[in-house]
Structure 1
Amino acid sequence: MSLLLLGLYGLPLTIGIYWGAKMLYQRLPKVYLSPLLITPLLIVVLLTQAGGSYEAYHEGAQWISKLLQPATIAFAVPLYKNFQTLKKHAAEIIVSVLTGSMFAIISSALLAKWLHLSSDLATSLIPRSITTPIAMDVSAVIGGVPNMTAVFVILTGILGAMIGPSIMRIFHIKGDIARGVLFGTSAHGTGTSKAFEFNSLSGTISSISMIVAALFTLGVAPLMVSFLQ
């Protein structure tokens, strides 16, 4: 496949595959059929089989990445609609999210040391538990590889969405607030999508939890780099 064709069709190819994967997920709502998992896997297979390069594909599909940051602003809508509930439970949400975020950062650092990862991979792993656009920015600041961080973020989100329901059953988590904090803190955007499948309030709490976790990690992640060195 020529570089020109990859550049021209990268964006519609990605949108088409995602749309098809989403339709499949709506019929069979299994986490392993999530569009966030199916779409990149199919694109990798297509690029590999067609002999194309990621750089050429990215030329056409880069607008999707650029739209991630402004898309995050859309979370303000459910936050506004559920403001009174958020205000009432603000203390519990903040304490829970900060605790979960700290555990995520520390566990990432310990995992990197245990696996003897290189410095680049270790720092790329640190912000794995926050939403992709912010995680990539944090990764760039602390000396990681943003593209690798995006991979870690997606894997973390999918894993969190997969085991989240089991965690809720084991620990008898039934409240919308607790459910939202669980998914938003541990599985960011993917978890938030899963939380919205339960109800709007769970999704909203997950949204704010994801944002708080991202802001906290943004401040703490640079401090953890020294621990890895």
Structure 2
Amino acid sequence: MSLIGIISFLGTIIIFLLSKKVYQKMNWIILSPLLICPLIIIVVLLVTHTSYSDYNSGATWLSNLLGPATVAFAVPIYKNFALLKKHAIAIGASLVTGSAVAIVSSFLFAMWIGLSNEMINSLVPRSITTPIAMDISEIIGGEPTMTAVFVIVTGLTGSIVGPFVIKSIRIRTSAAKGLLLGMGAHGCGTSKAFEIGELEGTYSSLAMIVAALISIVLSDTFFPVLQHYLIG
């Protein structure tokens, strides 16, 4: 690894830890590390005139940890398997509905603002975790890099808006809170759900993983039919 790669790798970790410490102390949603850390990195790259490719030569190692991090969410699911099994039908129905709505709403919004077919295909998988979303994007003819951007924006927005939605409509149960954050904001939402409680985080983890699997199926079956009838 080059010197700039080492600096970008260590620098990203340090920036994240510092922003996390500030967030824990202030507890303002706008200071969330998921929002502040990328902004600081962008400013640093602009000020130092460092290209993204140079920065990513080291930071890519952190991106590669997304897969193992997603798999690690299976641990709290295993610990609460009996409770999840008890509500399996309700959970399954809500996640199938959520995944279908995410695909349809993304597709219709993209058509409404006049995006190209490639950009539409890049936007459609935005509501699932990044590694799987990028694979789906490539399969259906999108641009995986743009899909990653859409996923991140969706996750950040959902993790900020989600708690306000929970509070405003007075969602009480751990299941509903967790499923909302996991389905609506995947990894970012799951991180937020664990801040609320372990059970909320468990439901969110399940939502993120199962929604990704459902989206793989829908993207290969339901989405092509939708695309055929609405675009031709």
> Same fold by TM-score, threshold 0.5 exceeded?
yes
Q: Root-mean-square deviation (CA), in Å?
A: 1.8
- For residues 202 and 112 of structure 1, the distance between their equivalents in structure 2, rounded to whole angstroms, comes to 32
Instruction: Say whether the 8 Å CA contact 1:36–1:154 is kept in structure 2.
Output: no
Q: How far off is 1:147 after superposition?
A: 2.0
Instruction: Say whether the 8 Å CA contact 1:6–1:52 is kept in structure 2.
Output: no
| Amino acid in structure 2 at the alignment position of 1:9 | I
| Amino acid in structure 2 at the alignment position of 1:43 | I
Q: Is 1:124 aligned to 2:151, yes or no?
A: no
Q: How does 1:39-118 map to 2 (within 5 A)?
A: 39-118=37-116
Q: How does 1:70-219 map to 2 (within 5 A)?
A: 70-219=68-217
| Amino acid in structure 2 at the alignment position of 1:118 | S
- For residues 144 and 23 of structure 2, the distance between their equivalents in structure 1, rounded to whole angstroms, comes to 28
Deviation sequence 1:3-60 (CA, Å, 0-9, x none): x543231211111111111111111222221212112211111111211111111111
- For residues 220 and 43 of structure 2, the distance between their equivalents in structure 1, rounded to whole angstroms, comes to 35
- For residues 28 and 155 of structure 2, the distance between their equivalents in structure 1, rounded to whole angstroms, comes to 14
* Identical amino acids, percent of aligned pairs: 51
- For residues 92 and 168 of structure 1, the distance between their equivalents in structure 2, rounded to whole angstroms, comes to 19
Q: How far off is 1:207 after superposition?
A: 0.4
Contiguous gaps of at least 5 residues in structure 2: none
Q: How far off is 1:171 after superposition?
A: 2.8
Task: Find the partner of 1:24 among 10, 22, 25.
Answer: 22
| Amino acid in structure 2 at the alignment position of 1:62 | T
**For residues 79 and 206 of structure 1, do their structure 2 counterparts lie closer, same or farther at Cα, with a shift above 3 Å needed?**
same
Q: How far off is 1:168 after superposition?
A: 2.0
- For residues 21 and 7 of structure 1, the distance between their equivalents in structure 2, rounded to whole angstroms, comes to 21
Count how many residue pairs are aligned between Structure 1 and Structure 2. 227
Of the two structures, which has the highest relative contact order with CA contacts closer than 8 Å and spacing of 6 or more? 1
- For residues 128 and 152 of structure 2, the distance between their equivalents in structure 1, rounded to whole angstroms, comes to 10
Deviation sequence 1:153-182 (CA, Å, 0-9, x none): 111112112222232233331001111111
Q: How far off is 1:118 after superposition?
A: 2.1
Instruction: Say whether the 8 Å CA contact 1:31–1:158 is kept in structure 2.
Output: no
Q: Could you tell me the TM-score, scaled by structure 2's length?
A: 0.91
Instruction: Say whether the 8 Å CA contact 1:123–1:225 is kept in structure 2.
Output: no
- For residues 141 and 13 of structure 1, the distance between their equivalents in structure 2, rounded to whole angstroms, comes to 34
